[in-house]
């Protein structure tokens, strides 16, 4: 918000100055006769000024932009929850501490459970092609890129269910690559995670697995170069 205000004020100042110059030139050098006015050129000081000043303005705005982006993207220590989010064709895998996993593809719309009122640290990556992690009601989007992990955090202020989706055209069933974010209270999240961890310990085989053709941390492209993802209705 402050960065936007800075850009708006800078735009008003520059735009107002240019407008005044236009008015001044229009009245000061308006046509008074048919005689050709004297022609001048190469005003060295003026040319240096209108070259250097815009560069300084751009550099200053760039510095403030970097500072604002670093502040927004900074992940505070001591997050209330840490979740590894893996995108694949065409679904999502949410990995919690203690071996808890939630996996869903195409029409299954998996749900990522998060606590409210605390920073939730997300480690996002893709297991095959470029995907996009987007929750419209959070007004937040990030690329899920193959080969490296992107870390960010968000803080859900209210409980509720929120729709998420992939924003990058990633193949045949991209339009079905949805997920849900379920925001619950901290105590509810702690109980849910504890119960899920107990279920994993008592029955390790109950942990869902990635679809055939998708491997954790590697591309799902087969030898022929065709992308292999989750099946849709047995296709």
How many domains does the chain divide into?
A: 2
According to the model, what pLDDT value does residue 216 have?
67
CATH (domain of 197): 2.60.40.420
Instruction: Sort 155 into a burial class: Cβ within 10 Å, 0-12 / 13-18 / 19+.
Output: middle
Q: H/E/C letters for each residue in 105-174?
A: EHHHCCEEEEEECCCEEEEEEECCCCEEEEEHHHCEEEEECECCCEEEEECECCCEEEEEECCCCCCCCH
The answer on 143 and 56 residing in a single domain is no
Q: Is residue 225 part of a domain?
A: no
Q: Judge if 186 and 113 occupy the same domain.
A: yes
Does a structural domain hold residue 185? Answer: yes
Task: Looking at the structure, tell me whether residues 2 and 92 fall in a common domain.
Answer: no
122 and 189 belong to one structural domain = yes
Q: Are 62 and 89 contained in the same domain?
A: no
Would you state the pLDDT for residue 76?
72
Domain contains 158: yes
| 66 and 3 housed in the same domain | yes
Q: Per the domain annotation, does 6 fall within a domain?
A: yes
Which of 156-160, 181-185, 230-234 is the least confident region? 230-234
Asked which of 20-29, 126-135, 211-220 is least confident by mean pLDDT, the reply is 211-220
Domain boundary among 57, 74, 91: 74
Residue 29 belongs to some domain of the structure: no
DSSP state of 39: P
Structural domain of residue 199, as residue ranges? 81-206
pLDDT of 218 > 60? The answer is no
68: left (phi over 0), alpha (psi -120 to 50) or beta: alpha
Q: Return the number of other C-beta atoms located less than 10 Å from residue 109's C-beta.
A: 17
Predicted confidence (pLDDT) per residue in 125-142, tens digit: 999 999 999 999 888 889
pTM for the complete prediction? 0.68
- Are residues 92 and 178 part of one domain? yes
Is 144 in the same domain as 64?
no
* Mean pLDDT on 23-39: 86
- Give the three-state DSSP class for 20: helix
The rounded distance, in Å, linking the Cα atoms of 155 and 196 is: 22
Average pLDDT taken over every residue of the chain = 86
Least confident of 17-31, 41-55, 115-129, 206-220: 206-220
Residue-wise pLDDT for 102-114, tens only, equals 999 888 899 999 9
CA atoms within a 13 Å half-sphere pointing along the CA-CB vector of 4: 1
Domain match, 101 and 54 both? no
Confidence of residue 233 (pLDDT cuts 50, 70, 90): very low
Same-domain status, 151 and 92: yes
Identify whether residues 86 and 202 lie together within a single domain.
Answer: yes
Residues 159 and 128 placed together within one structural domain of the fold: yes
């Amino acid at each position: 918000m402050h960065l936007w205000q800075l850009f708006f004020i800078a735009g008003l100042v520059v735009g107002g100055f240019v407008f005044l110059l236009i008015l001044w030139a229009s009245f000061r050098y308006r046509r008074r006769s048919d005689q050709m006015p004297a022609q001048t050129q190469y005003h060295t000081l003026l040319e240096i000024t209108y070259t250097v000043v815009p560069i300084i303005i751009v550099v200053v705005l760039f510095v403030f932009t970097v500072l604002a982006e670093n502040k927004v993207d900074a992940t505070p220590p001591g997050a209330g929850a840490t979740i590894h989010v893996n995108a694949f064709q065409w679904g999502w895998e949410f990995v919690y501490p203690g071996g808890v996993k939630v996996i869903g593809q195409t029409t299954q719309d998996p749900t990522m459970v998060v606590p409210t009122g605390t920073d939730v640290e997300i480690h996002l990556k893709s297991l095959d092609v470029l995907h996009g992690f987007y929750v419209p009601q959070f007004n937040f989007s990030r690329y899920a890129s193959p080969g490296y992990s992107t870390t960010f955090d968000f803080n859900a202020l209210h409980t509720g269910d929120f729709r998420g989706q992939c924003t990058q055209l990633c193949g045949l069933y991209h339009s079905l690559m949805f997920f849900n974010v379920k925001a619950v209270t901290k105590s509810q999240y702690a109980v849910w995670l504890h119960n899920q961890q107990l279920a994993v310990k008592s029955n390790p085989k109950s942990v869902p697995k990635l679809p055939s053709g998708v491997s954790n941390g590697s591309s799902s492209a087969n030898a022929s170069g065709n992308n292999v993802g989750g099946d849709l209705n047995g296709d």
